[in-house]
Structure formats: structure tokens, C-alpha cells
Amino acid sequence: MERRAFLKTGALGAAAATLASPAIAQGKMQWKMVTAWPKNLPGPGVAAQMLADRITTLSGGRIEVKLFAAGELVPGRGAFDAVSEGTAELYHAVPAYWGSKSKGILLFGSQPFGLRADEQIGWMYHGGGQTLYDEMYGRFGIKPFLCGNSGPQWGGWFKTEINSAEDLKGLKFRTTGLASEMASKLGMAAEATSGPAMFQGLQTGALDAGEFIGPWTDSALGYYQVAKNYYWPGVGEPSSAEECGVNADVFAELPEDLQQVVKMACESLYNPVWTEYTTKHALALKTMVDEHGVQVKMFPEDVITAMGAAAKEVLAELQEDEDELVRRITESFIAYRDSVGGYMTYADNGQMNARASVMGY
């Protein structure tokens, strides 16, 4: 796919901005979904359209969801406010984009050295995470649901080789969420630009490095054209949950069956989205290495150690946050991480280590 296909934004302009509350025609509701992504961007853009289509289908057409890509109705980073204020009924994005609302929100998406995709949804369902998620987003008039996950993200694209933690200092680096705070503590200048803007920044020199998602999405955006050093592991985001936020008043007005439709549409996409990322990341990485000369490199051990120390500082600050809800979210996350993480030493980690020692991967 051509990168420029994902950089286009619609020209609905003022006409789109005049759309109001849910239009109702012959008992059917017409909902506007705003997203943080270019239309059909491999990964999140595709997942957003899947969610819009699934709600429409599962509701038997009683809720017809029309998707507006970033910039068509509101800017991508304006999706949260648009739903909170009732300009749109729902959005598709990631919690990492809403840290200016509350740092507690960031834990629901990804955490440096934090939860994997399966652990993240486990915290939601079985560790009290969803109750806290609802409480936090309820402050803004939004009912939230997780609806997908990218799986492990990558450390990023770097124009120059990284040989030590000292090499990170002063780099202008694109990232988001709590990973931004970790990067800042390492002496990097973290910038939360969009994915397409990251390409332009790397191309012009406004950025020295950056991370977005992983091979499938990153290759579509063409980062390999402007930076060849692709670093792993992405400890800043061991997974990154995608979310759907629904205007709370609109959701409350739905009959119970349609509330369940929205809920199940989101929940039923978590695994399909996650596993599609995993499958297509693997294929895209091979193509980038074999055909585009991408150099896959592991961060040096002292870089990972420095990142770990910075991540611990970030988490300690959340534990001391002045907002008691942020503190409760943080303690819940830590308790679940430690409980499941301890078990994973014997379970998934043990299996993966054994497979690697025998099969080589």
C-alpha cells in the first residue's frame, strides 16, 4: 500500500461539523464514530472500521455506525472531547492519547514493563480494572470498552545506532502515554505526534527517532524509508489496548439489548484484532528485512536497565498522585501485574523459553 493513501484526510469540513445528535429514521439510530486514525490504516484504522461494521450488523441495523477518520469530523486527538461533548456518539482510539485528562487513564492502555495483551484484558475482567475504567471515564461522560490490542509494540525507529543509554540523551523521540514519561526521564525529548506526522518528522529531521506500533502498521506508513535501525524490545508498551468510548448519556438511553450489542461488539473484537496484529506483524517484518534493508537490533542491556529504572520512577509518581482515583487505579494495576506476572514465570514464560531453547524461536 502507498503511504500517501493513509495521509489523506477527508474534506467534509463545515458540512460534517453540522452533524448533531443521533439521527433517528424509522426507528433506526445513526451514530457517528470518530477515530484517531487515517481511514483503513493497517492495524487501528482497519480495527475501527471492523467495530463500526460489527455494531451495525449485530444490532440488525438498529444502530447504523458511520466512521469518520481523523480530520474528517474532528482531529484525531479531538475524538475524546467530541464524544464527551456529544458531537459524536462514539470513538475508536487508545487510552495513551488522553493523559492530559488524567494520568490514571494511561494505565488502561499500556504501561512500561507492564501487562501483555492477555494480562491487560484479564485485569479488566477479573482484577477490578473495568470498574475503575468506568469510574475514571465516567468523570467525562464516557462509557469505555477495550476492543483490541496491538500486542507487543517495538522500541522504535532510529536514524543512528544506539550503543548505550547515553546515546538516548537529547534525541527527539515520538512516543505517547506513560512511555513518554519514561523517555523524558532518560533525557529524550518526547513528542506525541500522529503516526503520519512521525514519518514527516523523521524525513525532515524534526525527529531523530520514534515508535508508533509495530511492523504491520509501521511498514504501511513507510518508516523504513527514512530510518533503518528498528529496535526491540518495546518495553515502553508491552501491549497497547485499543478502546471504544461511547457517550454515556447515549449509552444509558439504549434499551438493554442494544447496550449488550455495543458491549459484545467491543469484547468480541479484542482477540481477532490482537491476533491479526500478531500474524501480520510477523509477515511485515520479514518483508522489511528481506526487501527494504531494515536492520533489526536489540537495545543494549544497559539501555533496558535504564528504561526499567525510569519506568519504576513513573509508577512511583502515580502511586503518590494527588488524585485518589489515580492512586487506586495504580495499586490495582500493580497488584494484578505482580500476581499474574509471578505465575507467568512458570506458565507462558516457561513455555516460551523452553520452545526457544529447543526450536530456536
* 237 in a known ligand binding site: yes
* 211 in a known ligand binding site: yes
CB 33 within 8 Å of CB 52:
yes
CB 29 within 8 Å of CB 64:
yes
Long-range contact set of residues 57-62: C-beta below 8 Å, sequence gap at least 24: 58/261, 58/264, 58/265, 59/258, 59/261, 61/28, 62/27, 62/28, 62/29, 62/258
Alpha carbon distance 223, 80 (integer Å)? 27
The helix, strand and coil proportions of the chain, stated in percent and rounded to the nearest 5, come to 50, 15, 30
Eight-state DSSP code of residue 299 = P
Query: What is the chain's length?
Result: 361
* 256 in a known ligand binding site: no
* 243 in a known ligand binding site: no
Which pairing describes strands 63-68 and 172-174: parallel, antiparallel, or unpaired?
Answer: unpaired
Q: On the CB side of 297, how many CA atoms lie within 13 Å of its CA?
A: 22
* 313 in a known ligand binding site: no
For CA atoms 348, 329, 43, 304, the dihedral sign is: negative
Binding residue numbers for Na(+): 212
Binding residues for substrate: 153, 174, 211, 237
